[in-house]
Amino acid sequence: MTDSADLPTFDLSNRKLGDFQLIRRLGRGGMAEVYLAEQLSLKRSVAVKVLRPEFIQDQTYLKRFQQEAKAAAGLNHANIVQVYTIGEADGVQFIAQEYVQGRNLKEYLVRKGALDVNAAMQIMRQVASALQVAGTAGIIHRDIKPENILLTRKGEAKVADFGLAQLTRPGEKVELTQVGVTMGTPLYMSPEQVNGKPLDVRSDIYSFGVLCFHMLCGRPPFQGETALSIAVQHLNVAPPPISDLRPDLPKPLVQLIERMMAKKREDRPADAGVILADLKQISRLVNQRDETPEVRPLRQPTKTPSMHRTQRQKLIRHTLFTLLAMLLVGSASAGVGWLMRTPDPFLEPVKNTDQVPQQETAQAQYYYALTRGYDEAAWRSVITYFPDAELENRRAKEQLAIIYLKSDRLPQAEEICQQFLRDGEQDPTLRAHGLAGLAVIESLRGNAAASQNYIQQYQALRKEISPELGRLLQEAINRQGRANRGSTSLNIDNWYFSPGLSEPLEREPGRDFRRQS
């Protein structure tokens, strides 16, 4: 093997490693760098993970690197990043694996904040499926964290980086750590990892629970200035009550995550299969809660025409609320799920803004309001405490408009939407939001012509909204047309939507999908 001092320490882009042509560096981790590459023989894109030169002479790191390939290569599952081969070329140790186009969960959470219940449960189901397969194979991941959950453009979640994995099947155990030495990431590390004790699949379940807390609450349960201070909290400190941070969440989901984060491993779910079974039941509960009379089809032939009109108006109202939420929030992760819920207890009595704790930054204040759901005072606090934060103020007003519409305070909602319209003279996206809101308001007032006028104005600006929102608008208008036993001729051509958690995509002639900025 070539001496490590002779190995290049710079970017390996454009280098060839055996059958793999490295194209560009995608990222750098603790002991490896990852490159986008082309496998020349199969003409396919792959990710090539290269062991950093300074670790090649260290047998512990070399074994750990090889152990990652061994652990992951034996797992064949849609929610696990597939390893193709392990190799060595010119003294460079590398692993070739599936290239996942998208971003990791940490990046997604930084951009989107706390997720709604449906988006979070979609990720939970997929990660649990991956952990179930790994656990059945006797593999403990030992480093479950948002950075190691990759999200594809189709909304698939894939567990990556088995670099710390440990095989536990009889006769196959490979232990790369010394007694008392911990491995993992402190923010998500299980108590037994902190103590350097033997691990089983329930350690991954604890880390998975911490990850779920982060997804739903917008931050990990424990924070500190040093890794040690965080690790100690996993041992001795109870996490903040999830229900205090997210009162909108179903109680069974909260209870499941709290069990996953139990300090004693015997109090956690025995394996990921138990989590999957619980999630299935919780999904039924959420779906039942989301089913409201307003969206059920008209089936009773004995009802009078006036009753039919009333139900059609309710259907239109529900559709328009959904449309406005999608337009204003502009993502599948923040606020949309709350709007879709049955409209009963989430409109709590309004508190005074001075009772809302002030955060250090406007962004932190916005994230705090996001975790409070429909707490009007929390959203007003963003504007009150940080009046010069233009982006956060606009988002807070968008949420306030939804709150006002849900509580039939149309004049207050109209004031915000008219302001969007005025301020949108130089900002087509802001103007589009204002038009969408005013279309909803006029429809609720029974002014069909005025509502249609706003919709037509919005149509001219539709490309200022993401392709995903364009399709949602098309579907909403189609539903409204069917509810009125008529038809709508508006077409939004050449727009495509990748379901789940993916970013909006647009098809270009002769090219594949690409991510929109």
Query: Looking at 287, 311, 331, which one is the last position of a domain?
Result: 287
Q: Is residue 395 part of a domain?
A: no
Has residue 6 got a pLDDT over 50? no
Residue type, 237: V
Q: Is there a single domain that holds both residue 175 and residue 235? A: yes
Q: Are 276 and 132 in contact (CB under 8 A)?
A: yes
For tokens 């509580």, name the residue: 407
Same domain, 214 and 134: yes
**Residues forming a β-bridge with 514:** 506
114 inside domain: yes
Is 90 one of the catalytic residues?
no
How many domains in the chain?
Answer: 3
CATH number, domain at 212?
1.10.510.10
> Which among 183-187, 233-237, 306-310, 447-451 has the top mean pLDDT?
233-237
**CB-CB contact of 205 with 264 (8 Å):** no
CATH of the domain at 59: 3.30.200.20
Instruction: Provide the pLDDT for residue 210.
Output: 98
How many residues are present in the chain? Answer: 517
The answer on 319 and 281 residing in a single domain is no
pLDDT in tens, 204-220: 999 999 999 999 999 99
- Among candidate residues 6, 19, 143, 427, the one labeled active-site is 143
Q: Is the pTM of this model over 0.85?
A: no
Centre a 10 Å sphere on the Cβ of residue 12 and count the other Cβ atoms it contains.
21
Residue 81 confidence (pLDDT) above 60:
yes
Residues 266 and 338 in one domain: no
Taking the mean position of all CA atoms in its chain, how far away is CA 456?
A: 33
Alpha helices in 225-299 (DSSP H): 227-236, 242-245, 251-260, 272-290
Neighbour-count burial of 104, counting CB atoms closer than 10 A to its CB (0-12 exposed, 13-18 middle, 19+ buried): buried
Q: Are residues 47 and 110 in the same domain?
A: no
Give the separation between CA 355 and CA 24, rounded to whole angstroms. 51
Mean pLDDT of 364-383: 81
SS3 59: helix
Measured between alpha carbons, how far is 369 from 358 in angstroms, rounded to an integer?
11
Of 208, 217, 219, 202, which is closest to residue 126 (Cα–Cα)? 208
Mean pLDDT, range 109-126, rounded to an integer: 92
User: Are 168 and 259 in a shared domain?
Assistant: yes
Residue 263 assigned as binding residue: no
Instruction: Check residue 133 and give its pLDDT.
Output: 93
Same domain, 135 and 50: no
Q: Whole domain around residue 35: which residue ranges?
A: 4-98
Contact by Cβ (8 Å): 401, 437: yes
Q: What mean pLDDT comes out for the span 5-31?
A: 78
Between CA 417 and CA 457 the distance in angstroms is: 14
- pLDDT per residue over 29-79, tens digit each? 767 889 999 999 999 999 999 988 877 777 777 777 777 677 777 788 999
294 C-beta neighbours (distance < 10 Å), count: 16
Out of 79-88, 114-123, 390-399, 434-443, pick the least confident: 434-443
Compute the mean pLDDT over every residue in the chain, rounded to the nearest whole number. 74
Lowest mean pLDDT among 177-186, 241-250, 435-444: 177-186
Domain match, 316 and 186 both: no
Name the residue among 373, 367, 422, 423 with its Cα closest to residue 402: 373
Q: Side-chain half-sphere of 7: how many Cα atoms within 13 Å?
A: 21
> pLDDT: is 303 or 503 the higher one?
303
> What is the pLDDT, as a whole number, of residue 185?
74
Does residue 165 have a pLDDT over 70?
no
CA distance 27 to 23: 13
CB atoms within 10 A of CB 155: 18
What per-residue confidence (pLDDT) applies to 10? 62
Same domain, 171 and 316: no
Higher pLDDT, 76 or 407: 76
**Do 115 and 38 belong to one domain?**
no
The three-state secondary structure class of 150 is: strand
**Do 331 and 479 belong to one domain?**
yes
Residue at 375 is within a domain? no
Sequence-distant (≥ 6) Cβ neighbours of residue 151 within 8 angstroms: 102, 103, 104, 105, 108, 123, 157, 158, 501, 502
Is the pLDDT assigned to residue 180 strictly greater than 80? no
Winning range, highest mean pLDDT, from 23-32, 260-269, 409-418: 260-269
What is residue 261's three-state secondary structure? coil
Nearest Cα residue to 436 out of 412, 411, 418: 418
Average pLDDT over residues 462-478: 50
Question: DSSP 3-state assignment of 139?
Answer: strand
**221 vs 232: CA distance, rounded Å:** 13
Considering only CA atoms, which of 210, 208, 142, 222 is closest in space to residue 174? 142
